[in-house]
């Protein structure tokens, strides 16, 4: 969702206000009315604001994808209409995804003529023959505006010149053009706000629903993307340390010297940041092959441990992620201390 065209970027206070208004609206809902009076249960929601608008994820229980998408779009539109400060806001993109576990259960249990064929080639043929999906997402003007925004943000990534994204003034040596490199660099900067805001959103949710991610049924925006085998260690203090580390890491990206990745937590956060950058570009139709190459080139250069790109193979317990990788590196004092009582004592 986004405010009307021409609206200045939302500041921190405005973003918090939008989240509050949407949260107030969704908390008053128990179910969504679908076609022919069908009741679609609203299971959970995740709201994250960024300078350009809001990312909203709804978890619903519906008998079919089209019912879920239609009902979700309708209830969000109605909520915007009856929330006076948001009446001019627009839904810029609406997509629906199946729960992967439920999807696999359905496929395993499928039988009969409507079951998907086991032959991958036949599935591909059927998919190609299917009618195209309904168009969605931002229009050409919005995509062009975001392209300009990202290119304008690119110089803010002071720690890395455009050649870190594969661009070069020597044509024979460049993997991507200047525009693609600028879009990729700007997307990294743009994603910083998203990452930090979503971490704060997760922190607030865990403070209310904790004590750990493993004990909570809440859908988290960032914490759910961390290795699930450590979920019992994702406490409020852990997330606070993660937030401090994220602020330190992203702050260095805007300084002339980035230095190096200091700990496992920074490696993981860097990967999440680049994922956010890719999603941002894709959301506005800007994730061309060149921009993809630019982001991959940057990732290859900035990551020190590519094995950590797979978050399921992180080799240590979560509490060790904030330990400096060697004696030449350091982390923020708050992130380095995993004793909550000790931190409270320092504050007294």
> pLDDT tens for residues 147-186?
999 999 999 999 999 999 999 888 888 888 999 999 999 9
Mean pLDDT of the region 288-305: 88
**114-150 exposure pattern, b = at least 16 Cβ within 10 A, e = fewer:** eeeeeeeeeeeeeeeeeeeeeeeebeeebeebbbebb
pLDDT of residue 246: 94
d(CA 118, CA 268): 36
Which pLDDT belongs to residue 185? 95
Of residues 225, 220, 199, the one with CA closest to residue 209: 220
Supply the pLDDT for residue 269.
94
**pTM of the complete model beyond 0.75:** no
The mean pLDDT value for 114-121 works out to: 53
pLDDT > 90 fraction of the chain, expressed in percent and rounded: 30
DSSP label of 158: T
Q: 345 pLDDT band (50/70/90 cuts)?
A: very low
Greater model confidence, 110 or 213: 213
Q: How confident is the model at residue 276 (pLDDT cuts 50, 70, 90)?
A: very high
Nearest to residue 319, comparing CAs of 242, 211, 210, 218? Answer: 242
- Residue 215 reports pLDDT greater than 50: yes
Kindly indicate the confidence band of residue 12, based on its pLDDT and cuts at 50, 70 and 90. confident
* Structural domain boundaries in the chain: 1-100, 140-347
pLDDT for position 239: 93
116 in Cβ contact with 123 (< 8 Å): yes
Q: What is the mean pLDDT of residues 66-84?
A: 76
Q: pLDDT at position 127, please?
A: 47
Of 84 and 186, the structure prediction assigns the larger pLDDT to: 186
**pLDDT at 37 (0 to 100):** 64
- Contact criterion met (CB below 8 Å) for 56 and 45: yes
Specify the higher pLDDT residue, 40 or 294: 294
Q: What is the pLDDT of residue 31?
A: 58
């Amino acid at each position: 969702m986004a405010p009307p065209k021409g609206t200045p970027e939302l500041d921190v206070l405005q973003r918090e206000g939008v989240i509050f208004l949407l949260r107030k609206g969704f908390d008053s809902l128990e179910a969504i009315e679908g076609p022919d009076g069908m009741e679609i249960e609203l299971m959970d929601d995740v709201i994250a604001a960024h300078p350009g608008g809001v990312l909203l994820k709804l978890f619903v229980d519906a008998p079919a994808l089209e019912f879920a998408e239609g009902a979700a779009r309708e209830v969000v539109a109605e909520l915007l209409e009856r929330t006076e400060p948001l009446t001019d806001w627009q839904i810029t993109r609406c997509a629906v995804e199946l729960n992967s576990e439920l999807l696999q259960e359905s496929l395993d249990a499928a039988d009969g003529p409507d079951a998907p064929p086991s032959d991958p080639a036949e599935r591909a043929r059927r998919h190609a023959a299917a009618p195209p999906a309904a168009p969605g997402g931002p229009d050409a003007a919005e995509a062009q505006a975001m392209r300009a925004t990202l290119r304008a943000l690119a110089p803010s990534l002071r720690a890395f010149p455009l050649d870190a994204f594969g661009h070069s003034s020597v044509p024979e040596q460049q993997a991507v053009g200047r525009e693609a490199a600028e879009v990729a660099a700007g997307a990294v900067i743009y994603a910083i706000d998203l990452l930090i805001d979503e971490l704060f959103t997760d922190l607030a949710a865990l403070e209310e629903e904790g004590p750990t991610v493993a004990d909570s049924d809440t859908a988290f925006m960032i914490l759910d993307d961390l290795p699930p085998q450590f979920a019992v260690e994702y406490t409020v203090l852990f997330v606070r340390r993660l937030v401090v580390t994220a602020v330190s890491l992203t702050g260095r990206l805007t300084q002339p010297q980035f230095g190096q990745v200091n700990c496992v937590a920074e490696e993981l956060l860097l990967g999440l940041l680049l994922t956010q950058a890719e999603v941002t570009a894709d959301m506005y139709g800007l994730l061309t092959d060149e921009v993809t190459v630019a982001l991959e080139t940057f990732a290859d250069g900035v990551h020190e441990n590519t094995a950590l790109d797979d978050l399921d193979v992180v080799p240590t317990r979560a509490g060790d992620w904030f330990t400096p990788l060697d004696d030449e590196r350091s982390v923020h004092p708050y992130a380095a201390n995993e004793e909550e009582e000790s931190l409270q004592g320092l504050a007294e």
